[in-house]
Amino acid sequence: MIPVTRTFLPDIEEYTVYLDKIWRAGHITNNGSLCRQLADDIANYLRVSNLELVTNGTLALQLAIKALGLKDEIITTSYSYVATTNSILWEGCEPVFVDIEPETFCINPDLIEAAITEKTSAILATHVYGYPCDVARIQQIADKHKLKVIYDAAHAFGVKLFGESILQHGDCSTLSFHATKLFHTAEGGAVVCKDAEVTKRVFLMKKFGHIGEDDYLDIGINAKMSELHAAMGLCVLPKVQDIIASRKKCSGWYDEQLEGSLLQWPVPPVGLEYNYGYYPVIFPSHDVMMKVRHALLDNDIGPRRYFCPSLNTLPFLTPELKRVCPMSESISSRVLCLPLYVGLSKAEVDVICGIIRHTLQGGVML
């Protein structure tokens, strides 16, 4: 089976060196030395400040919403993983869906202002597949209407725009370190904040809102990263550049093989330094996509429909939240992410592309 992704695992001997340190210290959680080291190392690697490690990328979003004091309506994208919408709902806010750009599949800034009401408190946008939102336009709108900005940057670890980390933008950016990501801690995530005071609140809120044993200063939950997860991150982080290079090479093989096949790809903006976290392709129709998908599955190849359904159509939404987003609905019905991971061979990419081309040439396009 060729899966859509495969978790990068360091040499087990390297991991056990950190496990030995944990066992000798007897400190498994509660902001241990490995967590503190990993937070510093990630911040240095990404060239950001005010970074807090958390349990996962979903809790990172929830903490960002809570730490910024957001209420009522949050304008958000209709094209992302469901955690983006769920975090808004979980925190008692209402998602106001805005359609996406046809080039990057990120939220369309031309449509944001029309969605703003007196109840709007923020914009929560996703850097889809690691392709950046129009951060300049979004910030202009936010400044004009005095709104907070959160970026779901779960796909954007290491992404730069004009030499600057994409995480520098917005009031908060959130990261996922899930095992499917190019940098991972098995499970984990982080919140990057512009304001040091917001960072302090995230720090308190992720540990029940207290310091010491008895000083309760804020409302809180348990969103701490363990030393065991930090150890995995410390093993993986030094290899990130090699991981990105490997994924870039695989993406190049796909580009060569699928050129001229009438597929659609996201269009990278000028100045992008990409991380090759995903390889999405958009087919001409839902039927064509499904025929290719079935052909791949029949050959033990597992693409994924990242991201389907369009979030504005989620079945648990109340009718008034289900705004029509035609571009998002169209892309989500036609997208497949193809296998991409360290260790994927050129021969395997050739097989995948051969099946796609054969299926497309078999009359499906007619």
For 126-149, the pLDDT digits (tens) are 999 999 999 999 999 999 999 999
State the sign of the Cα–Cα–Cα–Cα dihedral 195, 50, 225, 236.
positive
Closest among 132, 124, 251 to 182, alpha carbons compared: 251
Instruction: Report the number of distinct structural domains present in the chain.
Output: 2
Assigned domain for 4 exists: no
Structural domain including 309 reads 240-364
Do residue 130 and residue 211 come from a single domain? yes
Q: What pLDDT, on a 0 to 100 scale, did the predictor assign at position 248? A: 98
The rounded mean pLDDT for the chain is 96
Q: How confident is the model over 338-364, as pLDDT tens digits?
A: 999 999 999 999 999 999 999 998 744
Which pLDDT score, from 0 to 100, does residue 231 have?
Answer: 98
pLDDT at residue number 365: 39
Same domain, 192 and 246: no
Establish if 1 belongs to a structural domain: no
Residue 5 lies in a domain: no
User: What pLDDT, in 10s, does the model give residues 14-58?
Assistant: 999 999 999 999 999 999 999 999 999 999 999 999 999 999 999
Instruction: Look at residues 97, 58, 89, 88 and name the one whose alpha carbon lies nearest to residue 313.
Output: 97
34 and 178, same domain (yes or no): yes
Q: How far apart are CA 190 and CA 176, in angstroms?
A: 7
Do the domain assignments include residue 20?
A: yes
Q: Are residues 223 and 252 in the same domain?
A: no
Structure-token pair, residue 263: 């597929």
| pLDDT (mean) for 170-175 | 98
In this predicted model, what pLDDT tens digit does every residue of 208-238 receive, in sequence order?
A: 988 877 778 888 999 999 999 999 999 999 9
pLDDT at 214: 76
Say which CATH number the domain at 223 has. 3.40.640.10
Same domain, 143 and 212: yes
The whole-number average pLDDT for the span 78-90 is 98
Q: Quick one: average pLDDT of 68-96? A: 98
Q: Establish if 123 belongs to a structural domain.
A: yes
- Provide the pLDDT for residue 298: 97
- DSSP single-letter state for residue 80: S
Write down the pLDDT at residue 218: 86
Of 238, 268, 299, the one marking the end of a domain is: 238
Q: What letter does residue 268 receive in the DSSP assignment? A: P
Examine residue 306 and state whether it is found in any structural domain, yes or no: yes
Q: Does residue 2 lie within any of the structural domains?
A: no
The verdict on 131 and 63 lying in the same domain is yes
Residues 6 or more apart whose Cβ sits within 8 Å of residue 62 = 87, 90, 91
Note if the pTM is more than 0.75.
yes
Dihedral sign for Cα atoms in the order 76, 81, 82, 84: negative
At residue 8, the pLDDT reads 98
pLDDT tens digits, one per residue of 315-326: 999 999 999 999
Exposure string over 36-74, b if 16+ CB within 10 A, otherwise e: eebbeebbebbebebbbbbbbbbbbbbbbbbbbebeebb
CA–CA distance, 126 with 131 (Å, rounded to integer): 9
Question: Within this chain, do residues 316 and 357 fall inside the same structural domain, yes or no?
Answer: yes
Query: What pLDDT shows up at residue 211?
Result: 80
* Mean pLDDT of all residues in 177-198: 97
Last residue of a domain, which of 238, 255, 271? 238
Pair 254, 134 in one domain: no
Regarding whether 317 and 260 lie in a shared domain, the answer is yes
Among the candidates 238, 269, 301, a domain finishes at 238
Find the mean pLDDT for residues 173-194. Answer: 98
Give CA–CA dist 64/149, Å, rounded: 10
Tens digits of residue pLDDT in 153-162: 999 999 999 9
Q: Are 129 and 280 in contact (CB under 8 A)?
A: yes
* Inside any domain, residue 153: yes
Residues 231, 250 within the same domain: no
Same domain, 192 and 74: yes
Q: Is 333:286 a contact under the CB 8 Å cutoff? A: yes
Residue 353: which CATH number?
Answer: 3.90.1150.10
Same structural domain for residues 164 and 234?
Answer: yes
- pLDDT confidence bin for 366, thresholds 50/70/90: very low
